[in-house]
Amino acid sequence: MRQQIVAGNWKMNKTLEEGIELTRAIVEKVEKANGLVVIAPPFPYLRDLGNMLKGHKHFHLAAQNCHQEEKGAYTGEVSAEMLASVGCEFVIIGHSERRQYFNEMNDVLAAKVNVTLARGMRPIFCCGEPLDIRAVNMHDGYVAQQLIEGLFHLNEDDFRNVVIAYEPIWAIGTGLTASSQQAQDMHESIRALVSEKYGKTVADLTPILYGGSCNAQNASELFSRPDVDGGLIGGAALKSDDFAAIVAALK
């Protein structure tokens, strides 16, 4: 069976002290998991929290973003090499907030995917449509284009390290969740697209996570669908009880 993953994206929340407390509580409450548990705190806490996670089975460290260049005069930016050097194993790339507020387009995201893989980390590549695109029933094509332009330049070996997160923008932070059928339909179409490009074996091994108001109440139903391989969690990742319950919902 392919890898199941729950990843918590803290976004721009928590002080260091609060982050340490949250991590301590999560580690205590998640004693076992039917898959990988990924924590993506803000950059300044990566090393401290990564050290807390070390030695705890199932737990892995992620960054929420990285710069697309290897190094150089990019004041305020953080490179993939830096992230790998503090213990990151995953990098979230192309979150809709990065696309929307920081104008990150698919060509830049493709470059971020490249530097992430080149440093031995796995991209969690986000895709998802806005409400007006779903309203006119063009979501499959919209998401397909994001994947083709952001990921499909990779060779098969590199693609095997990719995690895809489908996050309909209208469901992020809104309390509106895609129904488990809507999630399943999109995940199935994403897997079919991957299969067309890389073959069925690779497609069957690619984890596709759902994100967007996934919470302790709806996680089991979402994760029960055959092509939903876990979740990328925002708001509910900030509460240890909720996050632990979501991890427990992994099939």
Residue 178 interacting with ligand PGA (CB under 6 A): no
User: Is residue 179 at the binding interface for ligand PGA, with CB under 6 A as the rule?
Assistant: no
The greatest distance separating any two alpha carbons of the chain, rounded to the nearest whole angstrom, comes to: 48
Q: How far apart are CA 206 and CA 203, in angstroms?
A: 5
Q: d(Cα 203, Cα 194) in Å, to the nearest integer?
A: 5
Give yes or no: 21 in active site: no
Structure tokens, 124: 């969690």
- Does 238 bind ligand PGA (CB under 6 A)? Our answer is no
Looking at 47-55, 138-146, 151-159, 209-217, which segment touches ligand PGA (CB under 6 A)?
209-217
Among 63, 115, 214, 246, binds ligand PGA (CB under 6 A): 214
**Active-site residue, 97 included:** no
Our finding on whether 172 is near ligand PGA (CB under 6 A) is: yes
Shortest separation between residue 200's beta carbon and ligand PGA, angstroms: 28
The least distance separating ligand PGA from the CB of residue 202, rounded to whole angstroms, comes to 25
Is 213 a binding residue for ligand PGA by CB under 6 A? The answer is yes
Q: How many residues bind ligand PGA (CB under 6 A)?
A: 13
Nearest to 113 by CA among 175, 74, 45, 165: 165
Nearest to residue 68, comparing CAs of 53, 78, 76, 83?
78
The window from 45-53, 109-117, 212-220, 240-248 that contacts ligand PGA (CB under 6 A) reads 212-220
Provide the minimum distance between the beta carbon of 11 and ligand PGA in the complex, in angstroms, as a whole number: 7
Does residue 116 touch ligand PGA according to CB under 6 A? no
Please give the torsion angle defined by the CA atoms of residues 130, 135, 138 and 139, in that order, rounded to the nearest 10 degrees: 40
- Determine how β-strand 90-93 pairs with β-strand 59-63: parallel
Q: Which two tokens stand for residue 82?
A: 């830096």
- Confirm or reject binding of residue 235 to ligand PGA (CB under 6 A): yes
Mapped onto helix, strand or coil, the DSSP state of residue 91 is: strand
Stretch that binds ligand PGA, among 27-35, 101-109, 198-206, 230-238 (CB under 6 A): 230-238
Closest CA to 111 of 131, 128, 91: 91
Side-chain-side CA neighbours of 185 within 13 Å: the count stands at 11
Binding region for ligand PGA (CB under 6 A): 9, 167, 172-173, 211-214, 232-236
Q: Which residues are catalytic?
A: 95, 167
